[in-house]
Chain A
Amino acid sequence: MAFLKFKNVGITAMAGAVPKTVINNYEYTENFPADQVKDIVDKVGIFERRFVDKDTCSSDLCFAAAEKLVNDNKINREEIDLLVFISQTPDYRMPATSVILQSRLGLSNNTIAFDINLGCSAFIYGLSVVYGLMQTQNIRKALILDGETRSRIYSPKDRNTAFLFGDGGIAALIERKDYFGDSWFSLNSDGSREDLIKIKAGGYRNPSSCETVKEKVVDEYGNIRSDEHGYMNGGDVFNFVIREIPTDFKNILKFAGFEKEQLDYYIFHQANIFINNYLAKKLKLDKAKIPSTIHKFGNTSSVSVPLTMISELKTNLIESKTILLSAFGVGMTWASAIVKMHDCKISDIVEV
């Protein structure tokens, strides 16, 4: 059982960056008739998203967020000993984007820097990795940079995914403080369901070729994509959520020894409003404790949990709070955590 517990580590500051280009989903009608679009948009509850331009990468969003965080909090860059970049939309296949960011941010060459490639649950996975390394005592400050440009992954002509995804990047500063006390994590994986959300080509199993970039009609509904676009089997992803997430939610509560009523906020991966409403109802949660950004940023994959904290809980995490994080997706992987927040300084969101 992959349950982890850490002591006296926590998030002390956060900052977020989103592209300035707003996509109004009702007007995203280039490929589908407006009445169909309205139907889909109303049901998924995603009204706006942010899209990067062709020259902007996840790392650029994270860089802007990190600069904001460092400047707002007057962080001494010399004290950042660890930088973890979380993304499935890196700058290059090599080198690792974290290393490029180490230099761009003017961090020392003694900085530990590496990437984590995982998908929607990755912020929680990444947090556990950093909390674990922080237990060694020798790392003074750690920076988690988590960014995704999912707008560049999915086909705008595939209605299964065309209206869901958006772009964003965040920076989170992790430090050791006695007042954080214990934090608890549950991390899970099921590769037998690897084909539920996938980009088939462009890696080394199916390298890029003229064939892989060809757009094709893929189903009886006339959806169009290439093998280098992402696809999603929404029905079975939902079945996966039904099967795994309520159980994991209960497991983490039990492991940490909490009743759900004792928690101040539940922050779920922003998949779509349909899934999030289902989880709130199934778990009988107080909706006032579930911050949401799905309507304005869409599904930003691993960024959605921290971006929701930054956007919706700006002044709410100064006083002591105990919050539950839960995220799930491509892999499939799913993760949950119960962490204490105290005096967390959240910057205003930057537009890039």
Chain B
Amino acid sequence: MEKQFIENFKETLEIEGRELYLTDKFRDYSEWDSLAYLSVVAMLDEEYSVIVETADFKKLITINDLIEEVKKRK
């Protein structure tokens, strides 16, 4: 699942030509902004049928945190 999630995440943020790692703090990516956030929210719903409210999302820091949250809510 990790590998697929990273692929989905890359595609959502339109990141090309570099690797992403589980420990990356995704808010540090230059592609990250409020609309990237909405795109990730849509991706979580479409790919994993998971809805994460803003207050909970704020606590997620790394890509791995996102994956754990999805696992928890599925």
Which A residues form the contact surface with B (CB < 8 A)?
39-40, 43-44, 160, 233-236, 238-239, 242-243, 274, 278, 282
Contact = CB atoms under 8 A, between A and B. Distances in A.
Contacts, number: 34
Interface residues of B, number: 15
B11 interface: no
A238 B33 contact: no
10 contacts: A43-B35, A44-B35, A234-B38, A235-B34, A235-B37, A235-B57, A238-B38, A239-B53, A274-B39, A278-B42
Interface in B16-74: 33-35, 37-39, 41-42, 45-46, 51-54, 57
Most buried by B among A43, A236, A238, A243: A238
A153 B39 CA distance: 27
B45 A236 contact: no
A244 B61 CA distance: 27
B68 to A, nearest CB: 19
B35 to A, nearest CB: 4
Contacts of B53: 236, 239
B54 A239 contact: yes
Contact of B34 (A160, A236, A239, A242): A160
Nearest to A40: B35
B35 A242 contact: no
Nearest to A282: B46
A59 B48 CA distance: 46
Contacts of A160: 34
A239 B35 contact: no
A4 B37 CA distance: 37
A238 B34 contact: no
Contacts of B42: 238, 242, 278
B49 to A, nearest CB: 10
Interface SS majority for chain B: helix
A238 B41 contact: yes
A234 B41 contact: no
Contacts of A278: 42
Contacts of A233: 54
Nearest to A159: B34
Nearest to B33: A39
B39 to A, nearest CB: 8
Contact of B38 (A39, A243, A274, A282): A274
B41 A242 contact: yes
Contacts of B35: 40, 43-44, 274
A239 B41 contact: yes
A276 to B, nearest CB: 12
A49 to B, nearest CB: 18
Contact of B51 (A40, A44, A234, A239): A239
Contact of B54 (A43, A235, A242, A274): A235
Nearest to B42: A278
Contacts of B57: 235
B33 A235 contact: no
B34 A234 contact: yes
Contacts of B45: 242
Contact of A236 (B39, B46, B54): B54
A339 to B, nearest CB: 29
B63 to A, nearest CB: 19
A32 to B, nearest CB: 13
A214 B14 CA distance: 40
A236 B57 CA distance: 10
Contacts of B34: 160, 234-235
